Amino acid sequence: MFIRLSIPFVLGAVVLAGAFDPLQHAGPASPYFDAPSQIPSSTPPNCKVDQAAYILRHGARYPEPGSFGGWQNLHAKLQNATYTARGPLAFIRSWSPPVDDAPHQPLYLTSTGAGEAFALGVDLRKRYGFTKGGDNFTVWAASQQRCVDTSTYFLRGYLSQGNYLATPELNRGRSILLADSVSYTHANSLTPSAACPAYASGSTGSAKANAYRATYQARVAQRLNTFLDGLTLDAGDIGPMQDLCGFQAGINGDTRFCDIFEESEWLDYEYAHDLNYFYGSGPGNPVSAATGYPWVKAVSDIFAAGPNAPTKGGLVPPPLIMGFTHDNNLPPVVAALGLWNATLSPTTPDPSRSFRASHVVAFRSYVALERMSCTAEGTSTNDVFVRVRINRAPVAIPGCASGPGASCPLKAFLAHVEERGVASGDFVQKCALQDVKNATSVASFLTTIPDPADVQLVSL
């Protein structure tokens, strides 16, 4: 049986060693956890973050309808046979899928997801101290309900404000809702890959992941069958059973499916997800960086202007920029920044690899950019730097990590972003949208006053 760690994953610059935890190797089914890092996660001495931008996945949710169908099929197989089960499988005869409101729950946040979002709001309020009492605060969210709900619970944690039920206009939190997974917004979106026809054709993630799963799932089924008499599991049962580890832990705290599999089997499961995301939406998809770049460029322009600077679109973004979206929209940002781009072998995992799906697309995962104003020791001179965080862990930009805490000087960061724009390619060109009227390569939503119909007041 695996032991869950309740202590922080990183202390200073030292990665804590402990018992293997499957929930930190479950890819997109993992509840949020801080990713490990060799760089101290605290803000460097004599530095203060004056602007930060986060793009993050929604919190833990119930399964998608397709995945839920797989759980129902597994349940039927386990219930419609006469057999005995022992050892780690002893519970499966009485197991049922952790969904008790099937018409409603699939795709929606779980209470764990709501808690993850609220906790992030509390964390960032304490970390940055940007918003004083009485100030309004705006965030952006893709318009699917799980993203909107994540933004709402984040605002509740961040603002910790009383609830004005009779006069909701007094509530200080508001979400600007952006059309979710549509084609007509092009790059001006939190889901730009949906507006890029070439993005899907460049993806080989699913094929590589399935090919890798074929190398181990039958072997795992054969091992588990030694605990069964009268029932035979096959390779197709293993994926849903491993998915249930993370999902069920997030829904009702039940981790028995986590305990069925051995450490090596979890590492194989994790690597299949790594292949899926690296070659599907990450650096291994040749179109991915072009879909993540517009957000990176928009934030870099805001950082170049500095806090509270006027914008052409008329909307001055808050010092903390929050965008709530889906898992597949985070790896393109990693690709656009030029991070974690070492090719993954389709057959042989490298234990030292940087790209791990569990560290970038777990529930409530994020990629963040921080603009830091730092004072050199013994002087009154301020210099400005930019640092990347992925799931809290600072990540050094290749060739640009000379600043405090492996940060990048602002001027060098802006040059890096321009270079990455050339390497990533223009969104309209890369997505073959040259003949599409009003197609844009610019993410202007962060600085454009929205239509009032797209602004949702949050009752806290």
Question: Per-residue pLDDT tens for 164-220?
Answer: 667 767 778 899 999 999 999 999 999 999 999 999 999 999 999 999 999 999 999
How does 272-300 read in b/e, with b if 16+ C-beta sit within 10 Å? Answer: bbbbbbbbbbbbbbbbbbbbbbbbbbbbb
Across the chain, which distance is largest between two alpha carbons, in Å? 77
What is residue 1's predicted lDDT score, i.e. its pLDDT?
A: 33
The answer, yes or no, to whether residue 236 has pLDDT greater than 60, is yes
What is residue 103's predicted lDDT score, i.e. its pLDDT?
A: 75
The answer, yes or no, to whether residue 133 has pLDDT greater than 70, is no
Residue 316 lies in a domain: yes
DSSP state of 397: B
Can you say how many angstroms the Cα of residue 317 is from the centroid of all Cα atoms in its chain? 22
Arithmetic mean of pLDDT, 115-140: 90
Arithmetic mean of pLDDT, 385-410: 97
Residue 378 lies in a domain: yes
Both 344 and 406 in one domain: the answer is: yes
Question: Per-residue pLDDT tens for 323-336?
Answer: 999 999 999 999 99
Both 163 and 135 in one domain: the answer is: yes
Half-sphere exposure of 205 (CA within 13 A, CB side): 25
Domain that holds residue 86: 62-107+204-280
What is residue 172's predicted lDDT score, i.e. its pLDDT?
A: 82
Question: How far is Cα 235 from Cα 138, in angstroms, rounded to an integer?
Answer: 47
Catalytic residue among 21, 25, 58, 273: 58
Both 78 and 163 in one domain: the answer is: no
Q: pLDDT exceeding 70 applies to what percent of the chain? A: 93
Q: 137 or 327: whose pLDDT is higher?
A: 327
Residue 16 lies in a domain: no
First to last CA, the chain: 41
**What dihedral angle (degrees, nearest 10) is formed by the CA atoms of 38, 158, 133, 447?**
90
What is residue 168's predicted lDDT score, i.e. its pLDDT?
A: 67
Is 451 in the active site?
no
Among the listed ranges 66-70, 83-87, 227-231, which one has the minimum average pLDDT value? 66-70
Q: The domain spanning residue 402 has which CATH number?
A: 3.40.50.1240
The answer, yes or no, to whether residue 12 has pLDDT greater than 60, is no
Q: Can you give the pTM of this predicted structure?
A: 0.94
Domain end among 280, 295, 318:
280
Arithmetic mean of pLDDT, 265-269: 98
What is residue 161's predicted lDDT score, i.e. its pLDDT?
A: 67
Both 155 and 79 in one domain: the answer is: no
Residue 20 lies in a domain: no
CB–CB of 344/275 below 8 Å?
yes
Please report which confidence band the pLDDT of residue 8 belongs to, taking 50, 70 and 90 as the band edges.
very low
How high is the mean pLDDT of the chain?
Answer: 92
Question: How far is Cα 183 from Cα 193, in angstroms, rounded to an integer?
Answer: 9
Both 224 and 266 in one domain: the answer is: yes
What is residue 72's predicted lDDT score, i.e. its pLDDT?
A: 95
Both 366 and 452 in one domain: the answer is: yes
Q: Which of 161, 148, 54, 156 is nearest to 108 (CA)?
A: 148
Domain end among 222, 257, 280:
280
Arithmetic mean of pLDDT, 66-77: 94
What is residue 197's predicted lDDT score, i.e. its pLDDT?
A: 94
Residue 12 lies in a domain: no
What is residue 165's predicted lDDT score, i.e. its pLDDT?
A: 67
Both 113 and 182 in one domain: the answer is: yes
Domain end among 238, 253, 280:
280
Residue 4 lies in a domain: no
Both 385 and 460 in one domain: the answer is: yes
Both 362 and 451 in one domain: the answer is: yes
What is residue 136's predicted lDDT score, i.e. its pLDDT?
A: 79
Both 127 and 249 in one domain: the answer is: no
What is residue 270's predicted lDDT score, i.e. its pLDDT?
A: 98
Is 273 in the active site?
no
What is residue 446's predicted lDDT score, i.e. its pLDDT?
A: 97
The answer, yes or no, to whether residue 261 has pLDDT greater than 90, is yes
Catalytic residue among 237, 327, 359, 416: 327
How many domains would you assign to the chain? Answer: 2
Both 245 and 386 in one domain: the answer is: no
Residue 78 lies in a domain: yes
Both 347 and 379 in one domain: the answer is: yes
Q: pLDDT exceeding 90 applies to what percent of the chain? A: 85
Residue 95 lies in a domain: yes
CB–CB of 432/202 below 8 Å?
no
